[in-house]
Structure 1
Amino acid sequence: MMTPRQPNFFASEAELDEFMSSPDAQLIADLEKLDGDIMIVGAGGKMGPTVARMAKRAAPDRRVFGVARFSEPKLKAYLESHGIETISADLLDRQQVAALPRAKNIIFMAGRKFGSSGSEELTWAMNSHVPALVAEHFAGSRIVVYSTICVYPFAPVAHGGSREEDPVSPPGEYAMSCVARERIFQHFSKTLDTPALLFRLSYAIDMRYGVLHDLALKVLAGQEIDVSMGHVNVIWQGDACSQSLRSLLHTSVPAQPLNVSGPETVSIAWLAREFGRRFECGVKLVGEEAPTAWLANTSRASSLFGYPTVALATLIDWQADWLRRGLGSLNKATHFEVRTGTY
Structure 2
Amino acid sequence: MLTQPNAADIAFAQRLEGDTIVLGAGGKMGPTLAKRLHLALREAGRNARVLAASRFESASAVAELRDAGVETVSCDFLDSAKVQALPRVPNVLFLAGRKFGSAGDPDLTWAMNTIVPAHVAEQYRDSRIVAFSTGNVYPFVTPEQGGCVETDAPAPRGEYAQSCLGRERVFEYYSKHYQTPYLLFRLNYAIDLRYGVLVDIAQQVYAGRPVNLSVPAVNVLWQGDANSYAMRSLELCTSPARSLNVTGPETIQVRRAAEFFAKRFDREAIFNGESSGTALLNNASACHAALGYPEVTADQLMEAVATWVESGGTTLNKATKFQVTDGKF
The aligned counterpart of 1:287 is 273
The aligned counterpart of 2:117 is 131
Of 63, 68, 76 in structure 2, the residue corresponding to residue 77 of structure 1 is: 63
Cα shift at 1:31: 2.5
1:80 maps to amino acid: R
TM-score, normalisation: structure 2 = 0.98
Separation in 1, partners of 2:142, 2:264: 30
Of 90, 113, 120 in structure 2, the residue corresponding to residue 104 of structure 1 is: 90
Of 132, 153, 164 in structure 2, the residue corresponding to residue 146 of structure 1 is: 132
Of 26, 34, 37 in structure 1, the residue corresponding to residue 19 of structure 2 is: 37
Residue 155 of structure 1 aligns to a residue whose secondary structure is: coil
Which blocks of at least 5 consecutive residues in structure 1 are unaligned?
A: 1-18
1:79 maps to amino acid: L
Within a 5 Å distance, the mapping from 1:213-224 to structure 2 comes to 213-224=199-210
Cα shift at 1:241: 0.7
2:80 maps to amino acid: R
Moved more, 148-157 or 78-87: 148-157
Separation in 2, partners of 1:127, 1:284: 37
Task: Please tell me whether residue 259 in structure 1 is matched to residue 241 in structure 2.
Answer: no
Task: Please tell me whether residue 246 in structure 1 is matched to residue 232 in structure 2.
Answer: yes
For the aligned residue pairs, the C-alpha RMSD in angstroms reads 0.7
Which blocks of at least 5 consecutive residues in structure 2 are unaligned?
A: none
The aligned counterpart of 2:321 is 335
Aligned residues between the structures? 325
Separation in 2, partners of 1:292, 1:323: 28
Cα shift at 1:314: 1.0
Cα shift at 1:81: 0.3
2:312 maps to amino acid: G
Cα shift at 1:169: 1.1
Moved more, 243-252 or 278-287: 278-287
Cα shift at 1:305: 1.2
Separation in 2, partners of 1:169, 1:293: 13
Separation in 2, partners of 1:117, 1:296: 24
Q: Percent identity, please.
A: 48
Of 177, 180, 185 in structure 1, the residue corresponding to residue 163 of structure 2 is: 177
Residue 183 of structure 2 aligns to a residue whose secondary structure is: strand
Task: Please tell me whether residue 26 in structure 1 is matched to residue 11 in structure 2.
Answer: no
Of 8, 13, 37 in structure 2, the residue corresponding to residue 55 of structure 1 is: 37
Cα shift at 1:290: 2.2
The aligned counterpart of 2:53 is 67
Cα shift at 1:41: 0.2
Ranges of 4+ aligned residues in structure 1 off by more than 4 Å: none
Separation in 2, partners of 1:96, 1:42: 14
